A and B are shown apart, each in its own frame.
Chain A
Amino acid sequence: MATTTEAEQVTPVGEDSSWYERLKHNRNWLGFLFMVPAAAILLVFLAYPLGLGVWLGFTDVKVGRPGQFVGFDNYAWLLEDDVFWLSVFNTFLYTVVASIFKFAIGLWLAVLLNRHMPFKSFLRAIVLLPFIVPTVLSALAFWWIYDSQDSVISWTLIEMGLIERPIDFLGDPNNARASVIVANIWRGIPFVAITLLAGLQTISPSLYEAATIDGANEWQRFWRITLPLLTPIIAVVMTFSVLFTFTDFQLIWVMTRGGPINATHLMATLSYQRAIIGGSLGEGAAIATAMIPFLLAAILFSYFGLQRRKWQQGGVDD
């Protein structure tokens, strides 16, 4: 802490110096002052809404009517609510299946894009497209692709003579689940692919050459060099991907509004429906709050399970 002692030596803190003078030269006070704006923004726009949401979950506030503290009543109510449990199941299904596919396809694309090929930068730009298009817009496009009458997929399959009637993509519960998952995968791949590509580019080509000379074939190079060296980035990118998917709202709301028969309701959409559409702010807040433990678990899992690798740190950490 050389700077502290220096500052103290340079400015003698006499009794006659004003409080402002003293503050101006106090390292801790200055540090505090500099942090105030950021802290204020975090408090007002993040901590307060989060706290308010958690608090609302313990009340029976409705839109336009002040409520009372009801303790865990909302949660007790939810425990016996089949639709809530269906939304939990849907959220998990949606997150797990979409994340697995996003990871597998994203990694595959990243490895492909990492190779030397013509129009490399053009192809990399194309891969980013789904990420650039506003979610609502792409959801509308999917809505049309999945249309029960005019779906381009159904049309193609009928023309090819593979099916006779249009597929009811969003009308049948299981079809609808699969459809929204596909849309989410499509939208999530660029983030995974581009981030993993950035990770791949940090791996020195000479490692692959050394492995080639050591006798590793392409698969062995992938499993023993690429994948282990990529784990730190995989951990980060998949944590984010899981968080985004778990809390997804826009895609579902535009395409299905949680239907048919709540088959695609996620916790986020159910919370919105109960709180804003239905007016039961307390109950909606309770559903949203119920997501927090799952999200925390996902973060902790990636942090402790994947992210911290001994070989990444220098020095002696035996």
Chain B
Amino acid sequence: MASVDIRNVRKSFGTTEVLHGIDVSVPDQSFTVLVGPSGCGKSTLLRMIAGLEEISSGDIEIGGRVVNKMPPKQRDIAMVFQNYALYPHMKVFDNMAFSLKLAKVAPDLINRKVSEAAEVLNLTEYLDRYPRQLSGGQRQRVAMGRAIVRDPQVFLFDEPLSNLDAKLRVQMRTEIKELHQRLSSTSIYVTHDQIEAMTMADQIVVMRDGIIEQIGAPLELYDRPHNTFVAGFIGSPAMNIIQGRMRLEDGKASFQVNDEIEMPLDEARGVANGADVLLGVRPEHWTFTNGQAGVPLDVSVVEPTGADTLVVCKLDGHEVLASFKERYEFAPGERIRLTPSPGNIHLFDAATRERL
């Protein structure tokens, strides 16, 4: 097993730079997820680690060796592709044995390794089938089996679950995580799905437009997002970001939505009186006050899901989402009052959109 260090890595296609200096350290045995909207460069970064794309500048180290110029097969990595990339003309066994055959491993050792991997992945009875004869989930497992048999230092996953249906995706998510816990191999996983990132990762790298927005443990990103992008990207439904102004009076800080609506704050966090700020509250952090205190909101839609009740409201013309564990029955048009639960108010600078 090995750690992966990415230092000031840049990538240009022609004159267009798509990665603008990426620094990530992937600790040994960790499960690191690169997440971001499409076009943020996460797949490109993964392919550079794999050796499928050249590195324009910077260094990538795997297990302490700089691999910039090393061909993929010497990097001791295995990769699982989004479309599985199974060889259609080879049976499952040969798909999994391909890399070992190329490495001229002894046939009985190949047999043993493949059957071990097949055992782990519940593929034993399918070894004699062609990929076309398998279901999506089984193909996905073959793709992982192909990676496992090589016993690589680093596993790379490129959106491996995006071709599966929702139910299977949840199931495979668990399987991949279990597999990682069993093999405790360093894994780098690319996805655009923040739920996948949150549920699987030890460390999440949030990327946007070729730069890193924040690196941290899942709950760290959830609790203390560095900027409004991370705040909006991590967590579902997304955090409410409300525009307003800081008001300091008699040593007390409050957030002013407009002349009438005001929310008390614990502290000013160094913001001057009258400064434009953005206030972030996650939908699940609203409390229904049932009285006169709190922010007045007009209910527009109520969406009960069973587990929670999602309420879409209007605040000064802007949409605000609230999610409750309780089964409130609000009527559309009703005015309700909510307060953010203490300690769960995020403040961002209106200009830089950075956390205050």
Q: A206-B83, A207-B85, A228-B89 are in contact. Are A213 and B102 (CB under 8 A)?
A: no
- Is B229 an interface position by the 8 A CB rule? no
Closest to B77 in A: A213
Q: A220-B102, A309-B89 are in contact. Are A314 and B73 (CB under 8 A)?
A: no
Q: Are A216 and B102 in contact (CB under 8 A)?
A: yes
Report how far A254 CA is from B86 CA in the complex, Å: 51
Report how far A316 CA is from B128 CA in the complex, Å: 11
Q: Which of A294-318 contact B (CB under 8 A)?
A: 309-316, 318
Contact with A along B175-212 (1 / 0, CB 8 A): 00000000000000000000000000000000000000
Q: Is the interface of B mostly helix, strand, loop or mixed?
A: loop
Closest to A216 in B: B102
Question: In the complex, what's the smallest C-beta–C-beta distance from B229 to chain A, in angstroms?
Answer: 30
Q: Which of B118-140 contact A (CB under 8 A)?
A: 128-133
For the complex, count residues of A whose C-beta is within 8 A of B: 25
Q: A213-B50, A213-B78 are in contact. Are A311 and B89 (CB under 8 A)?
A: yes
Contacts of B85 in A (CB 8 A): 204, 206-207, 209-210
Report how far A210 CA is from B72 CA in the complex, Å: 10
- Is B103 an interface position by the 8 A CB rule? yes
- Is A229 an interface position by the 8 A CB rule? yes
Report how far A213 CA is from B81 CA in the complex, Å: 11
Q: A213-B73, A214-B146 are in contact. Are A314 and B83 (CB under 8 A)?
A: no
- Is B88 an interface position by the 8 A CB rule? yes
From B88, B98, B133, give the contact of A214 (CB < 8 A): B98
Closest to B99 in A: A214
Contacts of A209 in B (CB 8 A): 50, 52, 79, 81, 85
Q: Are B102 and A214 in contact (CB under 8 A)?
A: yes
Q: Are B73 and A215 in contact (CB under 8 A)?
A: yes
Report how far A309 CA is from B77 CA in the complex, Å: 32
Q: Are B89 and A215 in contact (CB under 8 A)?
A: no
Contacts of B52 in A (CB 8 A): 209, 212-213
Report how far A258 CA is from B81 CA in the complex, Å: 58
Contacts of B50 in A (CB 8 A): 209, 213
Report how far A315 CA is from B82 CA in the complex, Å: 23
Question: In the complex, what's the smallest C-beta–C-beta distance from A91 to chain B, in angstroms?
Answer: 34
- Is A183 an interface position by the 8 A CB rule? no
Contacts of A310 in B (CB 8 A): 130
Contacts of B89 in A (CB 8 A): 228-229, 309, 311
Q: A206-B85, A225-B87, A229-B89 are in contact. Are A215 and B99 (CB under 8 A)?
A: yes
Q: Are B73 and A214 in contact (CB under 8 A)?
A: yes
Q: Which of A165-210 contact B (CB under 8 A)?
A: 204, 206-207, 209-210
Question: In the complex, what's the smallest C-beta–C-beta distance from B307 to chain A, in angstroms?
Answer: 38
- Is A211 an interface position by the 8 A CB rule? yes
Report how far A229 CA is from B102 CA in the complex, Å: 18
Report how far A11 CA is from B2 CA in the complex, Å: 75
From B87, B99, B103, B133, give the contact of A316 (CB < 8 A): B133
Add 18 more A-B contacts to A210-B86, A211-B87 (CB < 8 A). A204-B83, A206-B81, A206-B85, A207-B85, A207-B87, A209-B50, A209-B85, A210-B85, A210-B146, A213-B50, A213-B73, A214-B73, A214-B102, A214-B146, A215-B99, A215-B102, A216-B102, A229-B88
Closest CB pairs A-B (n = 7): A215-B73, A214-B99, A210-B85, A206-B85, A311-B130, A228-B89, A215-B102
List 5 contacting pairs A-B, 8 Å CB cutoff, sorted by A: A206-B81, A207-B85, A211-B98, A214-B146, A215-B99
**B interface residues (Cβ-Cβ under 8 A, vs A):** 50-52, 71-73, 77-79, 81-83, 85-90, 98-99, 102-103, 128-133, 146, 150
